[in-house]
Structure 1
Amino acid sequence: MRGRALTAAAVILAGSLAATWTTGRDDAAEAATVNRTVLSDSFSGDRGDRPDDDVWAVAGGGRRSTAVLDGNGRLALGAVLRTGKTFTQAYGRAEARISMWRQDGAWRALGVLDDQGRIPAGTVETLASDRVDENFHTYAVDWTPTTLTWSVDGRKVIRFTRAEKGTPLVFVLNLASGGYYSGGMLVDWVTVRTPVQVRDAAKWKPFTAYKAGQLVGYRKVVYRVREAHTSLPGWQPDLVPALFAKD
């Protein structure tokens, strides 16, 4: 309702201002980097269904019966599951919300392999303790051509310096750690996002007619227009979330 009210206000004020409107696409495009989702799985489906064959594969030829949906939007896992896709992008972030129990090496719950299914060569630096309880925690891996940095609930715990720069990566939901195995794993969701350069985002300007779905650049951030409207001073994308969403 707020978004519609803002749109209506724009129409009324536009008439009183008697301004000359322009379209966003007529303005000079602004290049900006945005994070695009290249993998997203929230494990919706009926109890007993298998995870999506186009997204996941059981590592080491294990049985797929050890990886099933619980019917409540979670994956119940008793095997090591890997992404079917190999990620060749130079930079990115993989995240997973996971519940499990392990004594040590909790960061390995979201593991990394190279495109040959091997553990990448390199050196490890411990940044903080990664011990967790049995509740759900968010595990993340930020990668660059030279490093992999693991975090748990936003706390950086491990930095891995890669021996081979920029090699392709595969992500793994991993039960094993330090010689110990958990009794199982529940996975709430997994996402992988990578930065993409966007060059067709018109710079935001007041007194401009914007269409729903259009990309708009403002202060090096790209926004997607939620609802068609004509902009006014003070309606910058970062101030009016009813009309703009970060892309």
Structure 2
Amino acid sequence: MGRVMRGRALTAAVVMVAGSLAATGVTGHGDAAEAATVNRTLLSDGFSGDRGDRPDGDVWAAADGRRSVAALDGEGRLALHSVLRTGETFPQAYGRAEARIKVWRRDGAWRALGVLDDEGRVPAGSVETLDSDRVDGDDFHTYTIDWTPTTLTWSLDGRKVLRFTRAEKGEPLMFVLNLASGGYYSNGMLVDWVTVRTPVQVDAAKWKAFTAYRAGQLVEYRKVVYRVREAHTSLPGWQPDLVPALFGKA
């Protein structure tokens, strides 16, 4: 209740201050917009749904053409017993795919979060092992793939473990939830969430005090881009990172 009341009080203050500043002629919309980089979400699945439901067929497909063995567990996770890939390919030149996964696996070139080309094949290229990626399957771990036109870099819980140099520069990619390890299969995989994002250039105004901002406007503050949630006129101390009622990260 206290948080709700503070939010209402802040909104009321915004309306009063905006009106008073408008009366004094302070109604600018900030500095001229400048190009800034934000991460645009291409895929985000938290696997919400009832126990036993199948994963979203518009997002996921069986990697080998057969019916996948996968179902939601009713607690926001996907229980997986076969290979599952994204239903679409991603042609963007740069991006990041991430998944929070619980699965037992040994060291090896395969990844719990893997890649295929746009024809469903393993891409051609060369592999460089950077560190061990062995996990025991008792806990969830975050698997990340950062891709560029020429390389893919895998990380495990923020630690780089594999670099792949692509033979075909910039070919589109599919992402795969993969149980196979050196010709063997684990007892199953639990997936908490999967996201795929790509960086894009947007026009964002520099934040400053005593400035009128409109809902939906992009504002940059300390190299982070925010989206204005509610029209208001800013005051000192109302920086985007301090007033989540007014700004959300873009």
The normalised TM-score by structure 1 is: 0.89
Are positions 1:206 and 2:197 aligned together?
no
Aligned counterpart in structure 2 of residue 158 of structure 1, from 153, 158, 162: 162
Higher share in strand? 1
Alignment map for 1:1-247 (pairs within 5 Å): 1-9=5-13, 15=20, 19-24=24-29, 27-64=31-68, 66-105=69-108, 108-134=111-137, 135-199=139-203, 201-247=204-250
Deviations 1:60-102, CA, capped at 9 Å, x for gaps: 11223x1111111111111100001100000000011111112
SS at match of 1:20: coil
Once the 2 structures are TM-superposed, how far is the Cα of residue 132 of structure 1 from its aligned partner? 1.0
Deviations 1:100-136, CA, capped at 9 Å, x for gaps: 1122238610000111111111111111111112111
What amino acid sits opposite 2:148 in the alignment?
A: T
Task: Report the identity percentage.
Answer: 80
Answer whether contact 2:17 2:233 (CA < 8 A) is retained.
no
Deviations 1:149-191, CA, capped at 9 Å, x for gaps: 1011111111111111111000000011222210111111100
- Separation (CA, whole Å) in 2 of partners of 1:189 and 1:67: 14
Deviations 1:185-222, CA, capped at 9 Å, x for gaps: 111110001111112x2232221122333211234432
Mean Cα deviation higher: 84-93 or 125-134: 125-134
SS at match of 1:150: strand
Answer whether contact 1:57 1:83 (CA < 8 A) is retained.
yes
What RMSD over aligned residues (CA atoms) do the two structures have, in Å? 2.2
Q: 1:104 to 1:16 in 2, by over 3 A?
A: closer
The normalised TM-score by structure 2 is: 0.88
Q: Which runs of 4+ in 1 moved over 3 A?
A: 1-19, 238-242
Q: 1:163 to 1:13 in 2, by over 3 A?
A: same
Q: Unaligned stretches of 5+ in structure 1?
A: none
- Separation (CA, whole Å) in 2 of partners of 1:106 and 1:99: 18
What amino acid sits opposite 2:51 in the alignment?
A: R
SS at match of 1:45: coil
Once the 2 structures are TM-superposed, how far is the Cα of residue 51 of structure 1 from its aligned partner? 0.7
